Amino acid sequence: MQSISALLLAAAALRGISAFPQAEVASSISYGGCPPFHGNFTIHQYQLYPENAYFDTQSCLLYMGCLWNATVGIYNPYTAKIVDILEFPGTTRNPLFHIGGVGVDQQSGLVSIVVDASDAFDTGGQDISGTNYIMQWNPYTQELLYKINLTETTHGLYGGYQDVEQDPEGNVYVVGTYPSSILKVSKDGKTVTPWFVPTPPIVTTTAGLAGLAAQDYILLGNDCASGNLWRFDMCSSTGIPVTVPITPPYKIGSKGVCDGIRLPLKYSGTVLLVAEDLSGVSVFRSKDASWESAEYLGLVPWNDPSIFVTATVQIGNSLYMVLEPFGDAIVPGQTSGNRTDFPFFDITKQVEALVTA
C-alpha cells in the first residue's frame, strides 16, 4: 500500500486527474479542490464494515470507521483502492471496542477517531461500564497525537460515544448516545470538558443524540429520544441545546432509528442529511444556514432491512449513503463477519430533487 504521507504530498496532482477507472467524471471542478466523482461504487475489502465515513478534501481520500474490527479504512475513490487499514494495539479486533465515528479537521488535516465500548450499543445502554476513547491521528507523520480515556471524565455515568466534530479553533466534540452528552476536547488534547451532560436522574437506556454536524460555530445534533433537531453554540463555555422548529412538523427517527448526520459542503451549510437506519435519509434545509428554523424536505428511501443507512458522506461533488450490514454472523474466533463487498449508493440526484422542488 502507498503511504498516506506520499498521497498527501501528491494531492495537488490528484486534483488534476481527468479520468478514473471507477468514477464517472464531470466537466467542472468539485468542491474542496478534489475532482468530480459520481455513481454507485463498491469497496472490495474483507471485513471492512464501515459505520461512518468522512471525505478529506485535502487528500481526496475517504476515511471510514470500521465497526466490528475497530479499525480505520482509508480509501482512494479515484483509483478504487484501499490505501491503508489503520490498526490500534489493544483496540483492533478486541470485542470490547468498536470504531465508528471519524472526522477530519479540514483546516489541519488531523483525523479524530471515536473508540466506543461495544457493550453500550450491544445492550441498548443497559451496560455502559466499558471504556471509551477519543484518538487523534496525524496522517502526515502517521502517528497518534493522543489517545484520551473519556470514561475518566464521565465516571461511567453516561456513554455510547459514536460521532465527532470540530470547531474552527480545532477543538473536538464527541457525542454520546446513552443518554445524550457531548464532551469537548481542547485542541492540544490536554483538557476534556463535560460540555453538555444529562441531568439526573440519568437513564442510560434512553437513546439520545446520535450524530453531530458543524458549520462554523454552529453545532447540530439529532436527539433520537425527542425526535428533535438541536442547535448548539460552540462559542459557549457549556453546551445549551436549542430546539430547531421544523416545518412541516417532523420527528427525527419516526421512520426508522436515527443515526449519523451531515451538512454537505456542496450546499454551504444550508442542507442537513439525517441517516435513519431502516428507512433512508431525511433531508432538511435552513436557507440562511442559521438553523434557527428548518424545513423538512422529504426522505430518500432505503428498503433493505438487513442493511442499515448509518451515515452519509460527500465525495467530490456527490452524496452517498454509508451502508452497514448488521445481520452477518461473526466468524468464529474473530470480531467481524465474512463479508467482502461494501456498496456506497449515490443519492445526489434524489437529494437535489428535494432541494429544488
Instruction: Report the CATH number at residue 156.
Output: 2.120.10.30
- pLDDT one-digit tens code per residue, 158-201: 999 999 999 999 999 999 999 999 999 999 999 999 999 999 99
Q: Does residue 35 contact residue 29 with C-beta atoms inside 8 Å?
A: yes
Q: Per-residue confidence at 327, pLDDT binned at 50, 70, 90?
A: confident
Q: Which domain holds residue 204?
A: 4-356
Give the pLDDT score at 30.
44
- pLDDT one-digit tens code per residue, 273-294: 999 999 999 999 999 999 999 9
- Alpha helices for the chain (secondary structure H): 4-9, 11-14, 118-122, 151-154, 348-356
For the chain, what is the domain count? 1
Question: Torsions phi, psi of 151, nearest 5?
Answer: -70, -25
- pLDDT one-digit tens code per residue, 230-267: 999 999 999 999 999 999 999 998 876 899 999 999 99
14 pLDDT exceeds 80? Answer: no
Give the pLDDT score at 21.
30
Q: How far apart are CA 30 and CA 355, in angstroms?
A: 19
Q: What is the mean pLDDT of residues 323-351?
A: 97
285 class by beta-carbon count within 10 Å (0-12 exposed, 13-18 middle, 19+ buried): middle
What's the count of helices (H) and strands (E) in the chain, helices before strands? 5, 25
pTM of the model: 0.92
